[in-house]
Amino acid sequence: MTSLGSAGYRDVPEHAGGSAARSWWDDNADEYLTEHGEFLGPDGFRWGPEGLREDDARLLGDVAGRDVLEVGAGAAHCSRWLARRGARVVATDVSAGMLRGARELSTRTGATVPLVQADARALPFADDAFDLAFTSFGAVPFVPDAARIHREVARVLRPGGRWVFSTTHPLRWAFPDDPSEHGLTAQRSYFDRRPYVETDADGAVSYAEYHRTVGDHVRDVVAAGLDVVDLVEPEWDPANTEVWGGWGPVRGRLLPGTLVVVATAH
Could you list the residues that contact ligand SAM (CB under 6 A)? 21, 25, 40, 71-74, 77, 93-95, 98, 119-121, 135-139, 142-143
Q: Which is nearer to ligand SAM, 140 or 226 (CB)?
A: 140
Using only C-alpha atoms, the chain has a radius of gyration, in whole angstroms, of 17
Q: Tell me whether residue 175 or residue 247 sits nearer to ligand SAM (CB atom).
A: 247
Q: How far is the CB of 14 from ligand SAM (least distance, A)?
A: 12
- Please report how close the Cβ of residue 85 comes to ligand SAM at its closest, in angstroms: 17
Residue closest to ligand SAM when measured from CB atoms: 74
Q: Which amino acid is at 195?
A: P
Closest separation in Å from C-beta 185 to ligand SAM:
26
Give the three-state DSSP class for 230. strand
Burial state string for 107-120 with b = 16 or more CB within 10 A and e = fewer than 16: eeeebebebbebbb
Beta strand pairing call for 205-209 and 196-200: antiparallel
Angle between helices 214-223 and 146-156 (to 10 degrees): 40
CB 45, min distance to ligand SAM, A? 9
Residues in the chain: 266
Q: Which is nearer to ligand SAM, 72 or 256 (CB)?
A: 72
| Secondary element (H or E) of residue 7 | strand 4-9
Specify the residue, 58 or 266, whose C-beta has the smaller distance to ligand SAM.
Answer: 58
Q: Which is nearer to ligand SAM, 58 or 182 (CB)?
A: 58
CB of 187 to ligand SAM, least distance (A): 23
Strand order in the sheet with 226-232: 115-117, 88-93, 67-70, 130-136, 157-168, 258-265, 226-232
Q: Which is nearer to ligand SAM, 93 or 131 (CB)?
A: 93
DSSP designation for 244: B
Report the alpha-carbon distance of residue 40 to residue 46 in Å, rounded: 7
119 or 131: whose CB is closer to ligand SAM? 119
Which one, 121 or 162, has the nearer CB to ligand SAM?
A: 121
List CB contacts of 214: < 8 A, sequence separation 6 or more: 170, 231, 259
Tell me how far, at minimum, the Cβ of 170 lies from ligand SAM, in Å: 17
Closest separation between CB of residue 58 and ligand SAM, Å?
Answer: 18
Task: Round to whole Å and give the CA distance between 89 and 124.
Answer: 15
CA atoms of 217 and 244, how far apart (whole Å): 23
What are the Cα distances from residue 260, in Å, to 22, 50, 214?
A: 23, 12, 11
Min CB(206)–ligand SAM separation in Å: 13
